Amino acid sequence: MYDLGMSLPHALLGLLAVEPRSGYELTKAFATDLGRYAWQAGHTSIYPELNRLAERGLVTVTEEGARGSRTYSVTREGYAELRSWLLTWRRQGKVRNEDVLRMFLLSALEPADALVVLRRIVEHTAEEGSRLRKIMDDAPAVIPPGSDGFGYLAAEFGARQFEAVHGWALWAIEKLESAPA
Amino acid sequence: MYDLGMSLPHALLGLLAVEPRSGYELTKAFATDLGRYAWQAGHTSIYPELNRLAERGLVTVTEEGARGSRTYSVTREGYAELRSWLLTWRRQGKVRNEDVLRMFLLSALEPADALVVLRRIVEHTAEEGSRLRKIMDDAPAVIPPGSDGFGYLAAEFGARQFEAVHGWALWAIEKLESAPA
DNA sequence: ACGCGACATGTCAAGACTGTCATGTCAGAT
DNA sequence: ATCTGACATGACAGTCTTGACATGTCGCGT
């Protein structure tokens, strides 16, 4: 098995394994769901990476459409690489999350300032969480449990994340307010 | 206010605002707590960045110790920059989390494989979560709520994250097992 | 005295990512 | 006919990050 090293190629393999797509469609996927919670990448990373994956035989162009679009699919080797990557446990994956960083640094501020930020987090996570829950409730036909399940698992994950942060922020506010300076 | 752009300088300002440290100590902080959940950086990024911050007057060397060690503290300007950064809401921070990516890609696998990974996640999050809870219970004197609070807020955040992922993985397992292929 | 391991900082090249610019296509509205 | 905006891919320079290599100090055990 090749050493792909980075996560981007595996993200692409994963998306293509669920459904063949063009680079343009992959770019849109990174701009929404995936890029929002898991891994972001712009089209300037994606297109060259697709070419590299194609060279190594992990993906292949299965359709050429209008405006020069190329639809890629994973090959058997590509799927094997993806499977092997997902089944191999890394003790600690790369993490880089600016929002979480902000939460960590909160205690560097004076309590009054920290409370301002925490209240904003409470609001924001409530909005985003219920937005996701609404999407899941309104469109059960689009992301049915038991079919591809991709959007479904991811959406539930996102919703729970927001709920967890929401609860944490409320807890933190209470702590800060009850602890006198 | 300068445009520092990246998160690393702010992470450093935040850590130094809580407590003056040397580059070496900062590196250790990134290797544990902070780097595990929020933002990682090696010493090869940290030392040059400290020099840049010092040039711009956001941090300053307040102590020189053995083996050429330099302890940095934030200046008033540095604290102002940090505060401004934390109080300014970005609609979406940069996110890059390999573990979350793996969870997103799970549905690209066949259910049997996905279940293997999910069960491992259940175990892992249970262990890590209770490890954090134990640390918080055993050492309330080290990270008292109301003092710096840094470790305390962060530890609680981490614990809740693990618990959320744990719950999600259990939920996902149930979904996958109850939905026949 | 000696050696080991942790302490402490640094350089450098290779690789990866971002943002900007560039190019061209196709569908639908006016 | 023309225009606009979404579609679709790509090149490129500047920046950031990673991993390998380098250098030297100090405390402790033997």
Q: CA–C1' distance A67–C30 (Å)?
A: 24
**How far is Cα of residue A163 from the mean position of the Cα atoms in its chain?**
17
Which of B10, B80, B17 has the alpha carbon at shortest distance from B39?
B10
The Cα–Cα gap between B28 and B47 comes to 13
Cα gap A98→A78, rounded to integer Å: 31
What integer is the mean pLDDT of B91-104? 87
Q: Is pLDDT above 90 for A178?
A: no
Find the distance separating the first CA and the last CA of chain A, reported in whole Å.
Answer: 57
Nucleotide nearest B45 (Cα, C1'): D17
Reported confidence tier of residue B142, pLDDT bands at 50, 70, 90 = very low
H helices of A38-149, in order, are 43-55, 76-87, 98-105, 111-138
Between residues A2 and B85, which one has the greater pLDDT? Answer: B85
Q: Mean of the pLDDT values across residues B154-158?
A: 88
Nearest alpha-carbon partner for A58 in A15, A26, A28: A15
DSSP B72: E
Q: Which of A28, A58, A61 is nearest to A43 (CA)?
A: A28
- Across all strands, nucleotide nearest A71 (CA–C1'): D8
pLDDT at residue A146 in the model: 38
> What mean pLDDT comes out for the span A54-65?
94
As ranges, strand D nucleotides with an atom below 7 A of a protein CB are 7-13, 15-20, 24-27
The pLDDT of residue A90: 73
pLDDT confidence tier of residue A54, bands split at 50, 70 and 90: very high
Strand C reaches within 7 A of the B145 CB: no
pLDDT in tens, A165-175: 999 999 999 98
Q: Are B21 and B15 in contact (CB under 8 A)?
A: yes
pLDDT recorded at residue A89: 79
**Where, residue-wise, is CATH 1.10.10.10 in chain B?**
8-87
The three-state secondary structure class of B75 is coil
Quick one: pLDDT at residue B107?
Answer: 83
What separation, in Å, do the N-terminal and C-terminal C-alpha atoms of chain B show? 57
Question: Within 7 Å: CB of B68 and strand C?
Answer: yes
Q: Which nucleotides of C are covered by protein (CB under 7 A)?
A: 7-13, 15-20, 24-27
Give CA–CA dist A155/A152, Å, rounded: 5
User: What CATH number labels B8-87?
Assistant: 1.10.10.10
CA distances from A170 to A25, A53, B150 (A): 38, 45, 16
Average model confidence (pLDDT) across chain A: 87
Judging contacts by C-beta atoms under 8 Å, the chain B residues touching residue A104 are 14, 33-34, 37-38, 150, 153-154, 157
pLDDT given for residue A3 in this prediction: 60
Q: What mean pLDDT do residues B156-181 have?
A: 90
B110 by DSSP, 3-state: which? coil
Predicted confidence at residue A144, as pLDDT, reads: 44
Q: Locate A34 and state its tokens.
A: 């995936």
Predicted confidence at residue B117, as pLDDT, reads 94
Q: How far is the CA of B8 from the C1' of C11 (A)?
A: 20
Quick check: B39 and A101 CB within 8 A? yes
Distance in angstroms: CA A83, C1' C18: 30
Going by pLDDT thresholds of 50, 70 and 90, the confidence category of residue A92 is confident
Residues A4-46: tens digit of each pLDDT: 667 999 999 999 999 999 999 999 999 987 898 899 999 999 9
Question: For B30-53, how does the pLDDT look when each residue is reduced to its tens digit (9 = 90+)?
Answer: 998 788 889 999 999 999 999 999
Q: Of how many residues is chain A composed?
A: 181
> Most B CBs within 10 Å: which of A107, A148, A166, A174, as the mutation test of the B interface?
A107
pLDDT tens per residue across span A100-125: 999 889 889 999 999 999 999 999 99
For A49, residues 6+ apart whose C-beta sits below 8 A from its C-beta are A8, A9, A12
